[in-house]
Amino acid sequence: AEQTGGTRGLFAGGYRGSPNTSVDTIDFINVDTTSDASDFGNLTAAAVLGSGFASRTRGVISLGAIPSNDQSDTIDFVTISSTGNASDFGNLTIGRRSSGGCSSSTRGLFGGGVNPGGQVRIDYITIAQTGDAVTFGDLTSSRTELGGCASPTRGIFVGGQPANNTIDFVTISTLGDAADFGDLTDARPMYNSACSNAIRGLFGGNKHPASVNTIDFITIATTGNALDFGDLTRTNSELAAVSSPTRGVWGGGHYPAKVDVIDYVQIMSKGNAIDFGNLQVARGRFAGSCSNGHGGLG
């Protein structure tokens, strides 16, 4: 686990209010406490429907959709242990929104997305460097609004549009196409939110077609169908998720309006989520989320 003051989780960008207004806000929490989120800084642009991942030191966010570009290729990064505004990292191989993100300690992957239809492509970057993404391979099918999480060796991409219950996996240190892992307990077509420790991956909330409170889990080193873990504190979609080696945390969302609620669970148990605190501002459809203690880091 991270040894510099605990695991930090970041929630970046998103839509707030009604009508939707995109924001550049980055919130942070200490995953292993309970409390309200604090201000970290700002993205390089207001953004929604991106994806995120991190090493122990650096958080990386693809901006998704920004006011000037509905399928942006911009990638931002921050130093997680500090606070401050994001800097430009580089660009995706193709502009897209609504991709899924996962990483090991060295390599980060962006899978799927919209430009303008569903995409099958997986990109990768080396987190410690800056520069443009490179093609990794393909998902088992083209889709958007999928979630991502990882162990130190495997990356997981889950759910998405068109409505499906698919779970894909890749070996992060190689290149190549994803393989079928198994299925969710039901189809989760929209705004999937995933987190993990090194052993288990958890998938919470979503629309099917209405918002649900379901949390599923898998054992990442195996293959097979997901099992029921428990429930979020409310039916919810458009959430973002972060994790430490012991906790999974979901923040924000939309049901029936934007919410600021943060929930958490103990990853290696099963059961219903507990209230953690609140975001600075209610919002959903985040640009991305990440932590410096997630499952891909070991």
Cβ count within 10 A of residue 163: 16
pTM for this one?
0.97
Q: pLDDT tens digits for 5-56?
A: 589 999 999 999 988 999 999 999 999 999 999 999 999 999 999 999 999 9
What is the reported pLDDT for 5?
Answer: 59
> What's the pLDDT band for 189 if we cut at 50, 70, 90?
confident
Rounded Cα distance between 242 and 125, Å, is 20
Detail the DSSP E strand segments found in 154-193.
154-158, 166-171, 179-183
Q: pLDDT tens digits for 66-121?
A: 999 999 999 999 999 999 999 999 999 999 999 999 999 999 999 999 999 999 99
**Residue 137 is which amino acid?**
G
Residue 130: C-alpha distances to residues 50, 76, 94, 125 (Å): 18, 10, 17, 8
Contact assessment for residue 114 and residue 98, using Cβ atoms and an 8 Å cutoff: yes
Cβ count within 10 A of residue 162: 12
Rounded Cα distance between 98 and 144, Å, is 6
